[in-house]
Amino acid sequence: MELEDLRLAVYDHFARTGRAPAAEGLARTLGEPLTAVRAELRELHAQRHLLLDAASRRSVMAHPFTAVPLGFSVMGAETLWWGGCAWDAFALPHLLAGQPELLVATRCPACAAPHAWVVRADAPPPGPQVAHFLVPAARMWEDVVHTCGHQRLFCGEGCVAAWLERTGNARGYGMDIPTLWRLASHWYDGRLDRGYVRREPAAARDYFGSVGLRGAFWGL
């Protein structure tokens, strides 16, 4: 079994259903022994193509897809996905070619006000909200679920400040809706295609700079 065949099967299942594939289902789809599939899933986890649960049996995340709710829902014409974070939720319309627009919904972590945007691939949606990324880019993979759970959208700077004061967290990196949309627009290009290569740190740093995100927070 080619590792790329398994990676594509995981992503295809997420893209079609909005849910994580079980190792047993992947083994049936690929016609491979379950033990081999589980071993290769662990290898994809080691290469940071996906995140497995504690039992190494199911994909918790295959960015920008997630199997667990982390504050965002993304609704298409027929499929509901969890948005792993502000970044990933805004990335899905760019990655899913058959979805010209998606409804991204969340609540402000500070005041619980509901927010929703119709997100398309051709232009950012309007809105005064502010995205706040708590964890610096260089530390995002130390605890990916924690990282994604703290890339959130707030009503504005006042709500960011109130949330930071209430939680005792230090300020991370903030951006407006157009910048968030630019960040998400091409980050996952090719992830559903054969031969995808994950960005190395230098390429990631260059990409952040290309969408106007500079400074120590993004230093890799």
Higher pLDDT, 43 or 204: 43
Per residue in 50-63, pLDDT tens?
Answer: 999 877 778 899 99
How confident is the model at residue 147, as a pLDDT? Answer: 93
* Average pLDDT estimate for 34-39: 94
Residue 219: the pLDDT is 55
Domains belonging to the chain, first-starting first, are 3-62 (1.10.10), 68-211 (3.30.450.410)
Instruction: Return the pLDDT at 220.
Output: 46
pLDDT per position as a tens digit, 124-149:
999 999 999 999 888 888 899 999 99
**pLDDT above 50: residue 83:** yes
Whole-number pLDDT of residue 96: 92
Write down the pLDDT at residue 114: 98
What does the DSSP assignment read for the chain?
--HHHHHHHHHHHHHHHSSPPBHHHHHHHHT--HHHHHHHHHHHHHTTS-EE-TTSSBEEEETTEESS-SSEEEE-SS-EEEESSHHHHHHHHHH-TT-SEEEEEEE-TTT--EEEEEEESSSPPP---EEEE-S-GGGGGGSHHHHHHTEEEESSHHHHHHHHHHHTPPP-EEEEHHHHHHHHHHHTTTTTSTT--PPPHHHHHHHHHHTT--SGGG--
pTM: 0.91
